[in-house]
Every structure is written in structure tokens, then in C-alpha cells.
Structure 1
Amino acid sequence: MQYATPLPAYLVQRYHGWKATAYNDNKAWYKRLANEGQHPRAMVISCCDSRVHVTSIFGADQGEFFIHRNIANLVPPHKPDGDLHGTSAALEYAVNVLKVAHIVVLGHSNCGGVKGCFDMCSGAAPELEEKASYVGRWMDLLRPGYERTADIADPAARTSAMEREAVLVSLENLMTFPFVRDAVESEVMTLHGLWNDIGEGDLEQYDPAKKVFVKV
């Protein structure tokens, strides 16, 4: 493949540093993971945003989380004949093969994908309305969240509310997958909705009894 090039020097240096320290100090654990396979307790669906560091937030070790990341931590509805199969495939593998006990949808503050959905739906980003826009067509999944926040006049407050709506839309769509619904209803798996304030380090979880997000 003629377009692939060697890694930048700073990444090579960081790799060698990791191999000589973190890996070398835990070599037996890495070999055990390699030989015995992965047995994660939870699947985390989070945003691609580089500021969202899932393993750091929960102090997780290698092999503990099965992590899937996409724009705005969205889950599409169950649609076997559709085109949005990346997230669906990861979900199917986590539930049916890995038998995870928990699925966590993790949203966050200042989400660029959610802001893009707000701009698109409000007419400020016509480029995202184009059929050829991958981001726009993916963010169509959040249109219900835009509609459900119509009573919020302030744009900043509305986009913040939409970040939490992205979590709720994903939880709703998760339950359209038969294998997810079966696992939840048989009480072998639980669903959780979280929102992380990047700047403050706060974490909120959705309380279905109160129908609001509350601090953890």
C-alpha cells in the first residue's frame, strides 16, 4: 500500500517507553490476556472525542472494558437491512459472544457531534444536510433529541441538554435489538446512561425513577 508511511518519531518513542515500563512490569498479565482471551465485564459506548478517556475515568485495566467509540456515542436502532452496521456489530459481539454484564452509554460535555446536529437541525450547517455527509447522516439519529429539547431557548443550554438526549436516544435504540432486550429482561445484563463534564471531572447518571441525570 503506497500511501502508508512509518509512524511519527514521537509515537515510536512513546511505544518503546511503554514496552520498557508498563508492559515489562505487567508482562505476565498481558500474556495471560493473550492466551486466555478477553472476558470484559462491561461494554462502554462512548464518543470518539480525544478528551474522553474511558479507562482513566474508571481506573480500568486492560481486558476490563469492551469499548466502542463513534461520533456522539450513538446507537442506531435495530435494522438488519440498514447501513449502520459498525456499532450494531460491536453490540452483537459484546452481548452474544462476550456476554457482558453491563452496557454503559457515556456522553460528555462540549460534544462536537451534538453541536453539529444542533447546527444542522437549526439550519446553520447546510453542508451536513447533504446526502454525501457521513457525519450528517449519522447525526440524523439524534434528531429526536433535538425535537425533545425544543422548549429550551438558549442554544448553549439546548446543546448541553442534547448531549444527555444522545445518551437517552442510544438507550432507547439499544432496547430495539432483540438480543439486548432478552438479556435485560432476563436480568443477565443492565443498561446505564452516563454524562461526563470534561472540565469539572463530574459524572452524572440517568435516574429512570426521576427521569433526570444526577451526579454520581
Structure 2
Amino acid sequence: MEIAVVITGMTKKYSNNRGIQNINLTINQGDIVGILGPNGAGKTTLLKCLTGLSSPDQGKIELFGVDLHSNFKEAIHPVGALIGSAVAYENMSPYKNLKMISRLYSGITDTDIEKVLEQTGLTPYQNEKISSFSMGMKQRFGIAAALISNPRLVVLDEPTNGLDIDGLLLLRKTIQEISSHYGVTFVISSHHISELEKLCNRFCFLIQGTASYYESGSEPLEDVYVKKMEGAGR
């Protein structure tokens, strides 16, 4: 099985001494990995380093065998991401925004745009201005933008924020179908433990800046999380 992500000895610290330290993580292609942890544990820092939005103080990141630091353009090419809130020209429609984004990549067709609009439930709203969208609808657009380049690795930071029940169900279905049909790897952070439990096959717990791991098993994920928090003295 091909390796999608290898993180070795990664540390990123801020002036307030918050951050992550000595993270080691290997992710196989096709994995759906959930990143869990309390506020301030370093979830977003980890994902920013993984997507090149932030540089680690030390350590190494390889994406599909390519070093992210020394060969950034090649390494980041197969990656789609939604970190934070979706960014869009709000006076334009989802379709026109995706059309603009598609120009950054080669080979993206109108059919590809229509596909991601359908996958994210935006087809009925594809010609409406994004300024009229709710937070959840804007989040759906952000996920569509992350998928438009037909990536092999998709990194999503809190993608369930603002989504209603229909949005959550659609997101889960979309991720599972893309992962199973195309072997796309997903790394997802969320506070929704129950949703990640239904979606992911592997989990990374970030507690006080350090990581521990768990494969899907018989024990409820919430119980595993509580034990790890108690073990860390939280």
C-alpha cells in the first residue's frame, strides 16, 4: 500500500510555548484519519504544517514520497485543503468561483466543477451569490474548492462547523465515496467525536502538544478519548 504522509519528529512552538512537539505519523493512501484534541492542543498547527501554511521548527514532512520543505511545489500539487473559513469572492456564485480556481490547475473541466457541486449539495445554488449563503453553505463551498483539483490528499480543518444534519450526512457520504472509489486520503480535525467515529478508520489524539494513535476498534471513541485525557492529567 502506498504511503501518503510521513511526518517525522515534527515540532512547532510559539512564543507562548503552545504548539506541537515530536509528532510522528504515517498515513496510508486511502486512510481517513481523524485529528482529535481539546482547544489549543495543536490540531490546526499540525494541519497548517502539513499543507505548507506554516513551517515546523524541526522535523520532516513527506507527501507521497516528496519532501514538503525542499520540493514544495511538487509535494503540494496533489493536495486539497480547507483550513479555517472558506475563502471566496462573495459577490460571485459558487460556479464562477470554482471556475476561477480551476484555472490554477491543468485539465479541470466544467464536468469536474459540476461533479464537486453535486458532491457538496451546491448544484441547486450554483448560480446564487455566496454572500447570501449561511455559514454551513459557505463551508460546503470550501469543501468543494478543496476537491476541485481532484487531489490525492484532502486536509480539512473543522469541516463540520456550521453544517446542519443534512450537511453532516452529505459530507460523510461524500468523503467515504471519494475515499473508497478513488483511494483519496483524508485528514480531518473536528470536535464532533461521534461524527469522526462514523467516518474515520484511524485517529490521532493531540493532547498538550503530543500525539497518540488509535485504530478503529470495539471500544467507543469517546471512552478512548476520555482515558487519554485522564492519562495526560486533563
Range into which the TM-score falls when normalised by the shorter chain: 0.3 to 0.5
Structure 1 length-normalised TM = 0.32
Structure 2 length-normalised TM = 0.31
Which structure has more RCO (C-alpha within 8 Å, separation ≥ 6)?
A: 2
**Structure with greater helix share of residues:** 1
State which structure, 1 or 2, has the greater radius of gyration over its C-alpha atoms.
1
**Structure with greater strand share of residues:** 2
